Amino acid sequence: MKRVICLLAILLLMPAPTSAVVFDSVSFVSSGVQVDVQIEANTPWRSPFTESVNVSIGVTPQISGVVQTNITGVSIILHRLEVDETGYLLITAEEEMDSPLVEGGTSANYTNEFILSGASGGLECYFSILIRGVYSNVTTRQSFQALSQENLIGPFAIATDISSPVAWVGLIVIAVSSIIFAAGVYGVKKSRTHRRRRSLMDD
């Protein structure tokens, strides 16, 4: 039992090997624009974390005759899938805003490095994107706010560090369960030994 607990502690303490992952480019349409997204990050992560995420975005309005496309705000949002898989929980988010961040013509392109920090994790974590901006043609000026689904890019894992309360609770649960299991096994063995002694005395 002690060996099992020690092994689990060692596994939690060991740094997870990370590697630069370029996630598949994805597109979505929202608020009258098509958004193309490419994300690169070193994964997996270990919570609590402070990690850099490189984001490249292209925005193309869906109406004809556009002469100017501006991006005024970009948010990168990190979610984790709930244990029962009924939805997603927010882990953290980061935003950059300006007037504008990027100016373009028929489309606009944006690239930036975001630093994300958080104190929770999960086995299935995803990035989502929120883009704000304005596009115009000869007669119309239209603002937009394009929000992707929660699981736009991913999944990847964020492990829980041994120093976090969640990890300690997990270790305590494992230790208590192991003690209860060992006590049960010992009780069964003792009961069998007692029965055997009584049988020999009866003979």
- Arithmetic mean of pLDDT over the chain: 82
* CB 80, CB 92: distance < 8 Å: no
List, for residues 56-67, the tens digit of each pLDDT value: 999 999 999 999
Please give the pLDDT value at position 81: 95
* Residue with token string 């920090």: 117
Separation between Cα atoms, residue 87 and residue 83, nearest integer Å? 9
- Name the more confident of 151 and 177: 151
Is the separation of the CB atoms in 24 and 15 below 8 Å? no
Q: How many CB atoms lie within 10 A of CB 154?
A: 21
- Give Cα 44 to chain centroid, integer Å: 9
- From the number of C-beta atoms within 10 Å of its C-beta (0-12, 13-18, 19+), residue 96 rates as middle
- In whole angstroms, give the CA distance from residue 62 to residue 72: 18
Residue 196's contacts (CB-CB under 8 Å, 6 or more residues apart) are: none
Across 123-132, 162-171, 173-182, 186-195, the highest mean pLDDT is recorded for 123-132
Residue 175 has pLDDT above 60, yes or no: no
Cα–chain center distance at 196:
56
Q: Are 32 and 104 in contact (CB under 8 A)?
A: no
Look at residues 93, 153, 166 and name the one whose alpha carbon lies nearest to residue 124: 153
| C-alpha distances out from residue 175 to 1, 8, 121, 182, Å | 8, 10, 22, 10
For residues 176 and 4, give the distance between their C-alpha atoms in angstroms, rounded to a whole number.
12
Question: What pLDDT band is residue 6 in, cutting at 50, 70 and 90?
Answer: very low
Instruction: Provide, for the chain, the percentages of residues in helix, strand and coil under a 3-state DSSP scheme, each rounded to the nearest 5.
Output: 25, 55, 20
Q: Which of 27, 76, 40, 29 is CA-nearest to residue 156? A: 40
**195, pLDDT greater than 90:** no
- How many CB atoms are closer than 10 A to CB 108? 24
Which pTM value belongs to this model? 0.70
The 10s digit of each residue's pLDDT in 77-128 is 999 999 888 999 999 999 999 989 999 999 999 999 999 999 999 999 999 9
Task: Kindly state the average pLDDT of the residues 156-163.
Answer: 79
Q: How many CB atoms lie within 10 A of CB 89?
A: 13
DSSP 106: S
